[in-house]
């Protein structure tokens, strides 16, 4: 979890286990926000509880590391009710997890719900395939797609922050 007091946005990335895709998204988005000078609360969670407390998958740590980002300090947690009030954006990595997020949303939750690739022109609604049962190449593919989505969200929120200031 990162951010300062003047942050306008809180972004939570959600996948199934919170050990592969959403930890990579958290790392990639945190770096993208920092590069842009966008102060933002960033975290990730899973819709499932199987891996609560675990470090990200070694293959996710490795691919992030090859891209200059350290995600080894993250620990998996499950999405909870407070998340729908603490974060302005809850961003799912695939359709099933977006539905899982929706199913848990309190009636008066304030977060807007979206998918990672919604911010990428022409790729709205596209899922990020689960690399968990794949090989190292699947993690490289996942990283490049996730990085594209994370950078697009950082651009979008930076624009929004500028509009709010104007
Ligand atoms: P993630 O990948 O949702 O990207 O973290 C998975 C991690 C674990 C499992 C499935 C997907 N699992 O079935 O344990």
Per-residue confidence (pLDDT) for residue 165, from 0 to 100: 83
What is the rounded distance in angstroms from the CA atom of residue 138 to the CA atom of residue 158? 30
Per-residue confidence (pLDDT) for residue 166, from 0 to 100: 81
Q: What distance in angstroms lies between residue 132's CA and the mean position of ligand 1's atoms?
A: 6
40 noted as active-site residue: no
20 noted as active-site residue: no
What is the rounded distance in angstroms from the CA atom of residue 92 to the CA atom of residue 48? 13
C-beta of 50 in contact with ligand 1 (< 6 A)? yes
Within 22-116, strands assigned E span 40-46, 89-92, 112-115
Q: What is the mean pLDDT of each successive set of 10 residues along the chain, which is 166 residues long?
A: 65 98 98 96 98 98 98 98 98 98 98 98 97 96 98 97 87
Copy the structure tokens of residue 77: 């947690």
Q: What distance in angstroms lies between residue 163's CA and the mean position of ligand 1's atoms?
A: 37
Among 15, 19, 99, 139, which residue has the most ligand 1 atoms within 8 Å of its CB, making it the best to mutate? 19
């Amino acid at each position: 979890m990162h951010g300062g007091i003047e942050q306008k946005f809180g972004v939570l990335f959600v996948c199934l286990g919170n050990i592969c895709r959403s930890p990579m998204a958290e790392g990639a988005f945190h770096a993208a926000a920092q590069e842009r000078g966008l102060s933002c609360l960033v975290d990730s969670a899973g819709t499932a509880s199987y891996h609560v407390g675990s470090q990200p998958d070694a293959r996710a740590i490795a691919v992030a590391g090859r891209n200059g980002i350290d995600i080894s300090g993250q620990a998996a947690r499950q999405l909870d009710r407070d998340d729908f009030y603490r974060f302005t954006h809850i961003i799912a990595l695939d359709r099933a997890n977006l539905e899982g997020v929706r199913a848990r949303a309190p009636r008066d939750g304030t977060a807007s719900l979206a998918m990672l690739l919604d911010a990428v022109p022409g790729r709205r609604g596209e899922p990020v395939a689960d690399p968990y049962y794949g090989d190292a190449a699947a993690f490289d593919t996942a990283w490049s797609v996730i990085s594209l989505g994370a950078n697009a969200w950082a651009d979008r929120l930076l624009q929004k922050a500028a509009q709010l200031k104007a």
